Structure 1
């Protein structure tokens, strides 16, 4: 059996395959002589329910905003929004960040994936975990960590540099590094987007048949030439998937620009949407929707390019034929490559996390450390019965656990339906399930409040509203991963199962799901991490009776309590690390059992 996809692999979107893949897979999952297919009916119903879960609140929001008000979006609204200097500046700034931080994230993520999966510089489990370490720290807390390190006046790194320069006679009043600048914002964006580039590329590279690279090297090609001429073309669909995910994340992230961009004077589209929804009275829903449509247009173009490439079917899949575990020998470049990887991981993940934990044991954030005053007083205050942090942690853990299990199971059924059906309805469902990736989570949160908080559901200020909203918001990522994991199941394996007389249910249980297990564990990891660290949707949906970690972090930030913010982020990060390690260990165990 071939090497399975990356345990932490975030795969390509569930674009519609064609040719032999589509035909063989349909025949494999639809045994001859069975007219009524219960599994197909179940997957269709689940997919329909998921689509309704997304479309209903959006329809209610549009109905209440435009139809009940007796008005529609017109040229006056377009002129008002897009002639506003703040909107033009936000669109321009977003484009600059997308075309600078995006390529940087793709290059760094691609090189990390290649070094980890295809060369003898790989680090194994540590190498798989550390590139996604920035996902373990909530984006808002990660942005705060960068301010702890690189704030021009009191950042730890800046103070250290000034002390060193002062010892040789160079005295600076502030800096020399300013995180509240263009390069600071681009650095933070890049650090947060690298995992979304790394994961799909790592999954594809691990499944790539090494015989192709071996043939190129035997023909005299250098490792670099082999990478450019053989490896990159073979993982083109995964590379376009990475472009798609990086684009979605770059356009939709709110925490980084709200912390770093505001003080830098760098406004982006996501912050303009939040300002229109939260800080305008009455809320400028039309302006927010128009900006959301611009995001949707950009992401739609990228998705069409990715889908066209994926239809070629030119990528590796799991089959019953074995493959070697050959890797590229870097020779004398092995040590520099490992040092570069360690340096990147320290800079982008470990050091910010250490800064958070260090500030969390201070009474307040200050570069003048009083070592005798360091302690756990912030943790005790947060977890005391008088504070909301304990309840927020319990709520977030419950939401993360239940949401990840239910979300992944729903994503599996949706992926099965999308791969089994060639109808126009399936293509429409595929587009609907991708909607959360194309919209601001703030806008989606408002839609869920309008749809489910009042009559007839009355779910306002409850954990159930948060649960269904989180599942809907992050479902598209699980569907993408489940679809890719499904596409990597070799047709000969499912054909053999049906030839042996097994039905579709038994084939799914004993063949398809076990082979999809690593990808499903990956989906569960990101589902859990995103839910317990969500800031954008939680700021709208959570209330005093159902606090979650995301809304509590926002309250602590707005109150200026950096030490307690760091303590809560530290607890959240430790929980996330423990969950991810356990999940990766489980996935590796399932892989070894094949």
Structure 2
């Protein structure tokens, strides 16, 4: 006769006294299990984050030490008075504030509307619609600014030339204009066109992953598409919206190429150009003025960063959950045609026309609106890629740097985002601030710091592409971390818990659950990484040399030499490379999304 097992063997263990379920919080034994499962991954992500923070803090510390402490001298009130009482500095701060207050909201509104129309309505254009809003990124900023001069220069701009010819037919004769890109509205136009992709990419990635159930419920209740977008969609994607605000603010404050080309000639000086002038065109370099002006940027970016970080920690937004998503979209009805025409009009004016102007100038002998069709040819491309010129080597270096840098940078950003997401300690908050430092400073200043830290002993990386690779990853890492954190914040814990319950390890869960769900945001980060490295101008002007030329430094040389035709040819090659890369990346996102 068998003996029944002791009662204690059949009785489940009594849970701890405080393990009763709390709304929105798992029981203690579930939390313990989750913490034990994430402990090895947490240690690895913490180590990677520490390395990344060291990569940023070490060169900055070396620069500050050599600047302020080498001779026992520190910044005093006289330095503050000298910098901030300078009329040029006060004018630059005022102009920067105006541009940020006007071009920033315009870029956010246009990028948000394009993302909503392309992801959530029946006015979408598919893959082409995803590519065209970021087409302004496919041309390096300095070449993009030149493209607007090709179009809207008051005397020789193609668009002005055609408009004057048309007005002449009806008896209105003009010697110049009617538009002038070297003006306030021209600078605002160029800033807005360049910043729209930074608003579009995080918002589109968030909208693509958002469950439309709440939107459907609002529409069933009688809300209009616009009311549903304002009251339901925007609150659900709040972290992505604040990420877009952060990116737009950082780009607006730190961009140099647009104001250096358009603003200088129109008399519109901004903070970024003042920093570059202090670092590059003053002898000896006025590092103190550059750092004090950078402090102004830091204060503005710090406020936006605090708001964005608090929003992500609050958890009051939509997450990707284990429930299936429907494919329902907003039906615009008679407004669908209007929406599509508006999208096409914007894309035509802001992206395709400047690209066409660049390609057209690239086949001319020299830039002129009086086209001689029999002289058009590919002579600029042949001269640019000849063995005697540096463009071929510069393209090869930039392609290698862009490919390797975007892969390493995005992977590092994923590990950093995992650590920042799983830890709420003061160490994690400090690391979050450190990783965003490059967004608060001029890339020229960062480039000088990396030269001081790594060019000489003990590293001896000066005039090598390894120094460029390290610097580019450090400079653009903050954008990838921001987008990776946003993508990770929308992955619900129920999906990872289900994977663990099925017996999968943390590495397998990361590979097969977390990363695929983060894919849209990660690809967006990779696109920004690649395009930025490929066409970087600011850091390349300091870091690149004769043995390691890159496209950015070559573009600067062509611009300073006044060779607009070859500049346009190089920009055309970069555009083709970037289009192929972005199309491949967006196709990968669609493939991953279909398999989810």
Q: TM-score, normalised by structure 2?
A: 0.94
8 Å contact 2:45–2:416 — kept in the other structure?
yes
Give 1:88's match in structure 2, choosing from 87, 90, 113.
90
Counterpart selection for 2:376 from 374, 377, 395: 374
Tell me the equivalent position of 1:264. 266
Corresponding residue for residue 454 of structure 2: 452
Contact 2:202 2:524 in 1 (8 A): no
Q: Deviations over 1:332-365 (max 9, x none)?
A: 1110110000000010001000100000000000
Larger radius of gyration: 2
Alignment of 1:108-507 (within 5 A): 108-507=110-509
Q: Give the 3 Å change call, closer, same or farther, for CA 264–339 of structure 1 in structure 2.
A: same
In 2: Cα distance, 1:522 partner to 1:69 partner: 45
What is the root-mean-square deviation of aligned Cα atoms in Å? 1.8
Greater Cα shift, 234-243 or 274-283 = 234-243
Q: Which moved more, 1:198-207 or 1:284-293?
A: 198-207
Distance apart, 1:439 and its partner CA: 0.8
Alpha-carbon contact 1:22-1:419 (below 8 Å) kept: no
**Cα distance between partner residues in 2 of 1:38 and 1:304:** 29
Q: For residue 13 of structure 1, what is the aligned residue in structure 2? A: none
Distance in 2 separating the partners of 1:548 and 1:583: 23
Q: Name whichever of 86-95 and 228-237 sits farther off.
A: 228-237
Correspondence for 1:509 = 511
Measured after TM superposition, the shift of residue 43 of structure 1 is 1.2
2:536 maps to which residue?
534
Structure 2 partner of 1:10: none
> 2:110, 2:591 → 1: CA distance?
29
Following superposition, the deviation at residue 418 of structure 1 comes to 1.1
Structure 2 CA distance for aligned equivalents of residues 412 and 351 of structure 1: 36
1:142 Cα offset (Å): 0.2
Matches of 1:181 and 1:289 in 2, distance apart? 29
Contact in 1 for aligned 2:107/2:193 (Cα 8 Å)? yes
Give unmatched runs, 5+ long, in structure 1.
Answer: 1-18
How much does 1:503 deviate?
2.3
User: What CA distance in whole angstroms lies between the structure 2 residues aligned with 1:281 and 1:364?
Assistant: 35
Of residues 452-461 and 493-502 in structure 1, the stretch that sits farther from structure 2 once superposed is 493-502
Distance 2:477 2:263 in 1: 28
Structure 2 CA distance for aligned equivalents of residues 479 and 309 of structure 1: 16
The separation in 1 between residues aligned to 2:271 and 2:403, in whole angstroms, is 32
Please list, as runs of the form range in 1=range in 2, the aligned pairs for 1:14-93 lying within 5 A after superposition: 31=33, 34=36, 37-93=39-95
> Once structures 1 and 2 are overlaid, which stretch shifts more, 139-148 or 421-430?
421-430
Separation of aligned partners in 2, 1:287 and 1:199: 34
The aligned residue for residue 14 of structure 2 is: none
- Find the residue that maps to 1:37 and give its secondary structure: helix
1:230-275 Cα offsets, whole Å, 9 max, x none, are 2233233322221111111100000000000010000000000000
In 2 relative to 1, CA 28–427 (structure 1 residues): closer, same or farther, beyond 3 Å? farther
Tell me the secondary structure at the aligned position of residue 547 of structure 1. Answer: coil
Q: CA deviation at 1:22?
A: 9.2
Distance 1:572 1:386, change over 3 A: same
CA distance in 2, matches of 1:32, 1:156: 62
Q: 1: CA distance between counterparts of 2:553 and 2:113?
A: 36
Structure 1 21/272 Cα, relative in aligned 2: closer, same or farther at 3 Å? Answer: farther
What is the distance in 1 between the residues matched to 2:443 and 2:240?
Answer: 25
Residue aligning to 2:562: 560
| Residues in 2 aligned to 1:461 and 1:471: alpha-carbon distance in whole angstroms | 17
* Aligned-pair CA distance for 1:223: 1.8
Q: Which structure 2 residue ranges, 5 or more long, are not aligned?
A: 1-21
TM-aligned CA distance change 1:65 to 1:30, over 3 Å = farther
Q: Is the 8 A contact 2:463 2:543 kept in 1?
A: yes
Deviation of the 1:519 alpha carbon: 2.2
The alignment of Structure 1 onto Structure 2 pairs a total of residues equal to 575
Tell me how far 1:33 sits from its aligned partner.
Answer: 8.3
Q: Which moved more, 1:55-64 or 1:414-423?
A: 414-423
Give the aligned partner of residue 102 of structure 1.
104
Larger RCO: Structure 1 or Structure 2 (Cα < 8 Å, ≥ 6 residues apart)?
Answer: 1
In the TM superposition, residue 400 of structure 1 has moved relative to its aligned partner by 0.6
Show CA shifts across 1:478-517 (max 9, x none): 1112222222222111111111222222222222222222
Q: Name the stretch that deviates more: 514-523 or 124-133.
A: 514-523
Contact 1:393 1:548 in 2 (8 A): yes
2:175 alignment partner, SS class: coil
TM-score (norm 1): 0.94
**Is the 2:62–2:452 contact (alpha carbons within 8 Å) kept by the matching residues of 1?**
yes
Partner SS for 1:178: coil
In 1: Cα distance, 2:552 partner to 2:144 partner: 13
For the structure 1 residues 372 and 511, does the alpha-carbon distance in structure 2 shift closer, same or farther, using more than 3 Å as the test?
A: same
